Chains A and B, each alone.
Chain A
Amino acid sequence: MKKLTFFLMSAVVVLASSCLKDQKDYFDKSSAERLQEVQENLRALLADNQYGWRIEYFIGNTEQDRGGKNLTLKFGKDLDTVCVRSEEFVDSSFTSHFKLTGDDGPVLSFDTYNGILHKYAVPSSSYYEARGGDFEFLIIDYSPEKIVLKGKRSGKTSVLYPLAEDAKTFTERLHQSDKAFYVSSFEGTLGSTAVKGEIDVRNRQFTITEKLDDEYADAETTTLPYILTEKGLQFYEPEEFLGTTLESLTYSAADTTFSAAGVSLKGFIPKDWRPYEFFEGSYMFLHNDGMFQIELVPTEDQESYRANGFGTNFDIFMFYDIKTGRLNIEAQFVTAKGSDEVLQEGENYVIMAPLGESGFFGLDGEGYSSAWNMREDRPVYVWENNGRNARFMSSELMLRLYNLTDGFVRDSQGYSMGPSVAKFNGNKASLTPKSMQKR
């Protein structure tokens, strides 16, 4: 029996080995060669345009979506460098490196740090999974007119188009249209259906909801990430909602309306939006330990106010946010009274920053914004979290010494705020016009 089994097994070996290979190649070249070819073509294509490329860069992960940003990329011909500009920071460009590599397919990787491209990919203690930014992309399709990329982390599609003008001109124009776009809600029609909705201009989310007579009924609703374009808004991907396809909307700034085939929407600016000029004058600044008088003096650029009265020897600035029509208090270098000279103690600069509950200082625009009580006769502005970072909660402003190389060093010895450090939280702090005759 054993012998028989052995014999049969041997027969299998002998028979199986006499074969004729007949494999047909579907491609004339190996996958590695084809991958290499794509990489070489892409490298040439990327460096080809005189002005470089613009990219509709979409950001977001499962927890959060930030819509799209307009960036420009100028790839170097001889070195692996790329110069990046953004509609967000129009004054500066960042240069770093890129490479074309392959894993799941051809990949474009931005492989040294770039202040713009990696901004939303940087992890931190509050965002240990970063904020949805991609810097490695699969190349889905390419042609001289358009390169389609897919973010390896987020899976989001971003598209490159050749730029027809100087990158700075392009980003500046989009920066201006972004600044002028502060519609927060809208109403109108999709086809024949009445709709309403909200726009989160900071995170570029467009929420549209069916408008029903019964406000407790279940209304259809959808949220679309968007990017600003020359004409208005472009949604991340076309979506059919209530029988109408939403792809892009033309925006008219003159009458704040949005239009597209079958779409007609009227936009509204925030209810408590106040124009810049409105804030000039004197106020009582209330905080947990008392109050003091301040005077808001407009700055030349009409973008902020110098607040006199916070300290005997220094002023702070409140920044006007045109999107919300509010004043913001956020981290800043502290200047001497009536001057632009930043105060220094030795090597260290005096900085004022909101102290978060976690013990960290908010240095990235976190802080407070002035919520108006909607009364023209007795206006009161209550400071609330400005929403810049949803996880940053603060009820305290502090003066600290800041060293450009070492970061925060210690509390400032020479300066204190108001009668003491201004501590306030939510409802207890407010900015009340001192004189009711104002306006």
Chain B
Amino acid sequence: MKTKAILPFQVIVLLVAGICAVGCQKEELNPNSVIRVAQTQKNDFDRWLDVNFNIPYNIEFKYRYELNESDLNYFTIPAEYDCSIMMAHLVKYLCVETYDEVAGITFTRTYFPKMFFLTGEWEYRNNGTIILGTAEGGKKIFLAGVNLLPEYINNVEDLNTYYIKTIHHEFTHILNQTKDFPVEFKAITGSGYVADSWNEEPYESHHLEYGFITDYSQYSEDEDFAEMLSEYITHTPEWWDRTMKAAGDGAASIMAKLDIVRSYMADAFDIDLDELRRTVNRRQQDIVNGKVDLHDITIK
């Protein structure tokens, strides 16, 4: 066959080319790497982070500003050192250790994002909304507004609204990126997703009756799923019942979606959603009641 006849000729050409290429002047490679990272010195907080995040979970907790980690579409500023310490404690106590308790440390080590990056203020968009945080590629959680933490620390509702729910919300995205949720979820309120109009009327104030747990849920099915899970676990059962009552006709859709969330967590990750809620609620109370010293960076 024709093709077969050509093959040896090709091999010869390649061999000759190879021999010619080798016959060039010898060049020594520079043994030093061209990649340099900023030289910073470790302080007490860095050492605490090593012991509490880096070594046990392989999580990098970046509290010092790096332009390349930030979103260049927004005007961001660095997080404050003391506020970052508080935030590290909150992430550890309310998220990392919650999943250790409910799903085991192997789950946390496997799925929990490997990097946190903090900035000081919210990301302000020019349409009047703000961005509290984002998750990227199953690996990184970005948390904004850390410098405002002292204003919200004594109130569970505020703490959740601005930070903790955000972490659970972003972590849900990461779980979804690992294992997709059933398509039936989207079908329940399929025509209700309105993208950027979620913060306009009537969507902003009528989301419950439309079958969405928050106004932002109406952005897309991915956001809806993350909102469902994070709202459910960060609130008390009483709050949930009250909200369902307020939802009226919308409650059926929300409950149907909750069932999918519940079975997804059980089937894919062997996590009991209600146990997760109990644990989150108990730990939130501990924070508000001051049982955890959020400023302590002594290494135990």
Q: Which of B34, B68, B77 contacts A121 (CB 8 A)?
A: B77
Contact-size category for B = 35 or more
How long is the Cα–Cα vector from A247 to B214 in the complex, in angstroms? 58
- Cβ-neighbour of B75 out of A6, A17, A123, A407 (below 8 A): A123
A101's partner among B38, B76, B120, B155 (CB-CB below 8 A) is B38
CB distance from A97 to the nearest CB of B (A): 6
Assuming the contacts A110-B78, A405-B150, asked whether A128 and B124 have C-beta atoms less than 8 A apart, the reply is yes
Among B32, B68, B76, B122, point to the contact of A32 (Cβ < 8 A): B32
Among A6, A17, A112, A406, point to the contact of B64 (Cβ < 8 A): A112
Query: Does chain A have a CB within 8 A of B153?
Result: yes
Residues on A lying within 8 angstroms of B by beta carbon are 6, 10, 13-14, 17-21, 30-33, 35-36, 39, 43, 78-80, 96-97, 99-103, 109-113, 118, 121-125, 128-130, 135-136, 152-153, 405-407
- A152 and chain B: residue at smallest CB distance: B67
Partner of B63, one of A17, A36, A43, A112: A112
Additional A-B contacts beyond A30-B32, A96-B78 (12; CB < 8 A):
A31-B34, A80-B40, A97-B40, A97-B81, A99-B40, A99-B64, A103-B68, A112-B84, A113-B78, A118-B120, A122-B121, A130-B77
- The distance in angstroms between the C-alpha atoms of A122 and B144, with both chains bound, is 12
**Neighbouring A residues of B124 by C-beta, 8 Å:** 123-125, 128
**Provided the pairs A32-B32, A118-B77 are in contact, do residues A112 and B153 lie with their beta carbons within 8 angstroms?**
no
Q: Is the interface of B mostly helix, strand, loop or mixed?
A: loop
Indicate whether B47 reaches chain A with its CB closer than 8 angstroms: no
* Cross-chain contact B78 with A407 (CB below 8 angstroms): no
B64 & A97 in contact (Cβ 8 Å cutoff): yes
* Binary interface encoding of chain B residues 100-133 relative to chain A, with 1 for a CB under 8 A from any of its CBs, else 0: 0000000000000000000011111110101000
A17, A30, A112, A405: the one contacting B151 at CB < 8 Å is A405
B85 nearest CB across to chain A (Å): 11
Task: Please tell me which one of the listed residues B20, B83, B120, B123 contacts residue A17 in the complex, with CB atoms under 8 A apart.
Answer: B20
A selection of 28 A-B contacts at a CB cut-off of 8 Å is: A10-B17, A13-B13, A14-B13, A14-B20, A18-B21, A18-B24, A20-B24, A30-B30, A36-B36, A78-B41, A97-B40, A101-B37, A101-B38, A102-B38, A103-B67, A110-B65, A111-B64, A111-B65, A112-B64, A112-B81, A118-B77, A122-B77, A123-B123, A124-B121, A125-B130, A130-B77, A136-B65, A405-B153
Chain A contact residues: over half helix, strand or loop, or mixed? loop
Q: Which of B6, B75, B80 contacts A112 (CB 8 A)?
A: B80
* Residues in B neighbouring A130, C-beta threshold 8 A: 75, 77
Query: Are the C-beta atoms of A33 and B121 separated by less than 8 Å?
Result: no
Q: Which residues of B contact A118 (CB under 8 A)?
A: 77-78, 120
**Are A111 and B66 in touch, CB under 8 angstroms?**
yes
Is A123 a contact partner of B121 (Cβ separation < 8 A)?
yes
Bound form: Cα–Cα A118–B122 in Å: 14
